[in-house]
Amino acid sequence: MTLSLPRTIISLNEMLSVSRDWKKAGETIAFIPTMGALHEGHLALMQYAESLASKVVVSIFVNPSQFGPNEDFSKYPRTLRDDLEKIKHLKIDAVFTPNASEMYPPDFQTWVDNSMMSLDFCGPFRPQHFRGVATIVLKLFHLVDCDHAIFGKKDYQQVKIIEQMVRDLNMPIKIHPMETIREEDGLALSSRNRYLDESSRHVSLALPVALNVAFDMFQSGVRSRSEIENAFAEEIARYPEIQLEYGKVANQSDLRRDGDEITEASVFLAAVRVGGVRLIDNLELGQ
Ligand code: AMP
């Protein structure tokens, strides 16, 4: 049996009317926003969605407003045909692939801006990134009219900001954060991994290794934020090919970092650059 490709929807009006009709018929909708170049991490979110609602919508949209002027927007992989092939065995009721020109018409001027959690971690390295993310996710939530939305903890700061947005703006949507899917050697799956050449791919393993150093210290009872962060930075510094952007311990609940002593369930968040590729990852440290 050959499986057919999932239904794609490009126009905003069509997406609105499809979701409205589903809702009228009593269906519930689970939604997975992506930028495409799909991998097993994305697929895991989609598989989980089936258990949450009667309809599953995936969006594939490389959102220009979350890229800075010197970032990889133009070279970000766009592989729609492959993506549709990869997901045709899953129960996906629609793949929403809007055009940037319809999402952001020339007179577009309204933004969703998180004023706290976006300031640290990736924030200073990617000015306006989370403003672009929050705005597009809000727009997609409206268009898809979802009851559930699934996000990867791989982008930890992003999930926290989306959860905050849903609370702050009283949106009746349940956010489901999912565990990070990794390669066998520990590297977190990411659409950007395909930019890594062989030697950068090898060196990039230092990131999960250093995160595990932090994890082991925490497990062995160390509760000093600076001690753990310094050990992480030292581990990364062993590889001259890697530039550390940040490696920080924060509260899982609100990403705050109060005082040197870790007293709450925490997470180690990090970003590095390897061979011109920016990689982010994190590990929950527990309580
Ligand atoms: P992206 O296409 O990179 O915007 O990612 C779309 C969604 O997939 C986001 O919620 C990501 O956090 C999630 N995601 C990306 N990589 C992984 C991974 N390795 N494991 C689980 N979820 C992931």
Per-residue pLDDT reduced to its tens digit, 230-283: 999 999 999 999 999 999 999 999 999 999 999 999 999 999 999 999 999 999
Is the entire prediction scored with pTM above 0.95?
A: yes
- Residue 14 has a pLDDT of 98
Question: 178 C-alpha vs ligand 1 centroid, how far in Å?
Answer: 9
Residue 265, pLDDT score: 96
Longest CA pairwise span in the chain (Å): 60
Please answer whether residues 31 and 148 qualify as being in contact, where contact means their C-beta atoms are separated by less than 8 angstroms.
Answer: yes
Surface-to-core class of residue 117, CB atoms within 10 Å of its CB (0-12 exposed, 13-18 middle, 19+ buried): buried
Pocket of ligand 1 (CB under 6 A): 34-35, 41-42, 44-45, 151-152, 154-155, 178, 180-181, 188-191
CA of 151 to the centre of ligand 1 (A): 7
- Which residue ranges form the domains of the chain, and what is each CATH number? 8-178 (3.40.50.620), 191-286 (3.30.1300.10)
- Sole residue written with tokens 């899917």: 181
Tokens of 198: 């062989």
Q: Retrieve residue 286's tokens.
A: 């527990």
Report the C-alpha gap between 54 and 96 in whole angstroms. 17
Low-confidence ranges of the chain (pLDDT < 70): 1
The token duo for 179 is 């565990």
For residue 2, what pLDDT is reported? 78
Predicted local distance difference test score (pLDDT) of residue 3: 87
Question: Which H/E stretch holds residue 16?
Answer: helix 12-24
What ranges make up the beta strands (E) of 8-98? 8-9, 29-34, 55-60, 94-96
Beta strands of 72-228 (E only): which ranges?
94-96, 148-152, 174-178
Substitution candidate for ligand 1 out of 42, 158, 179, 181 with most atoms within 8 A of CB: 42
Q: What phi and psi, each to the nearest 5 degrees, are found at residue 187?
A: -65, 130
